[in-house]
Amino acid sequence: MTAAPLVGTDPAAVAGTPPGGRRFDGPARTAAGFALGAALLFAVAPLTLSDFRLSLLAKYLCVAMVAVGIGIAWGRGGMLTLGQGVFFGLGGYAMAMHLKLADAGPGQLPDFMQLYGQLDELPLWWRPFASPWIALPATVLLPMAVAFGLGSLVFRRRVRGAYFAILSQALAAAMVILLVGQQGTTGGTNGLTDIQGFFGYDLDDPVNQRMVYFIIAASLLALLALARQLIRSRYGELLVAVRDGEERVRFLGYDPAGVKLVGYVIAAGMAGLAGALFVPAVGIISPALIGIVPSIEFVIGVAVGGRATLLGPVLGAVAVAWARTALSERFPGTWTYLQGLLFVLVVAFLPGGLASLWVLARQRRSDPAGARWWRRSRPVEPAENRTEVSAA
């Protein structure tokens, strides 16, 4: 028994197949898509971009990794997560703490602790991060554990829609306040800066910076493969069914809270990994990078690209991040308004995101009924979540 058809979800739309039975996403096409992406990331970009532009692209790809998780939680599960900066920050701080301890050397305090002069010895909760065998798993497991604890409390009490969005946003604000208030152990407003090494490699060396870029690019492709497998699995169909009709799924004997919890935890793990890789790519992690504004910018990129597709969140996140860098240099005082206007226009006139333009055009060329299939395949926002867009 498949959950999605029983709650009124079109199985053709879930599987990515139009009613005529002709598939638009097969193994060969998927393999070709990943091969093209790998060629662009591993060959074209390193050969055509300067070291500076390549480091910017590495930063954008980290944002895209967060977007993949939001695409699962929001696009497939209907959970508007406005607090992904929390999990991004947990992963980033876990990695930065290990790298700062490695730069300081055995038995030494990180440079900012010596500068502030508030501590004579390393805090107890810092000490486990001296070991890479603890720090590396913590970059993913710690965000997932926090998401599991929060999600268990929230979803079991059926908190959803705008209330869930506001709660997740408040969590991001609370974490920023906590980090800023602990200046002696977290660096305060400045965060953890001047990270010089990455497991024995000097980050000032352009060759090592390229190595970091390749690691980030490979991680993004791996997350895309994982997301694709998840979306096409039985769980992926059940997640869509919960999004479209949570009460009906509960009536059929499933546990919607557990289904949403799994998607939320997976998205948190992806954000944590992105934060961990962001640190060696940029050399800093600070509260300004993980607060409310960055969390909203993550969501804007996903909405612009198309939250219900696999590549849409990635392309949208990269495009918005690039536009923010390029346009903010020319219009530093108005870029925020332009970003907000872009989000409003996409949500109001193109709910499926920019990725839906290609799908709609292709269907109209190949099949007169294609436009009707495209409308059915778009994510249907449940009634309790329809206020989320205006709240965002």
Q: What is the pLDDT of residues 87-126, one digit of tens each?
A: 999 999 999 999 999 988 887 888 888 877 677 788 889 9
Q: What residues does 285 pair with on adjacent strands?
A: 192
- Report helix, strand and coil shares of the chain as percent, to nearest 5: 75, 0, 25
Are 282 and 32 a contacting pair, CB within 8 Å?
no
130 or 160: which leads in pLDDT = 130
pLDDT of residue 372: 52
pLDDT of residue 313: 92
**pLDDT exceeds 60 at position 11:** no
> CA–CA separation, 329 vs 335, rounded Å?
9
Confidence class of residue 324 from pLDDT cuts 50, 70 and 90? confident
Summarised one tens digit per residue, pLDDT across range 22-46 is 444 578 888 888 899 999 999 999 9
DSSP codes, 231-269:
HTSHHHHHHHHHHH-HHHHHHTT--HHHHHHHHHHHHHH
First to last CA, the chain: 36
Determine contact, residues 84/298, Cβ cutoff 8 Å: yes
Does residue 249 carry a pLDDT above 90?
no
Task: Count Cβ atoms within 10 A of the Cβ of residue 298 and give its class: 0-12 exposed, 13-18 middle, 19 or more buried.
Answer: buried
Q: Which of 36-40, 122-126, 197-201, 355-359 has the lowest mean pLDDT?
A: 355-359
**Contact, 227 vs 310, CB < 8 A?**
yes
In the predicted model, what is the mean pLDDT of the chain? 83
- Give residue 2's pLDDT: 43
Averaged pLDDT, 202-231? 94
Of 282, 330, 322, the C-alpha closest to 305 is: 322
Q: Which residue has the tokens 């070709």?
A: 32
Q: How confident is the model at residue 341 (pLDDT cuts 50, 70, 90)?
A: confident
Instruction: Flag the least confident range among 62-66, 171-175, 346-350.
Output: 346-350
Average pLDDT over residues 245-253: 87
Backbone angles phi, psi at 254, to 5 degrees: -85, 165
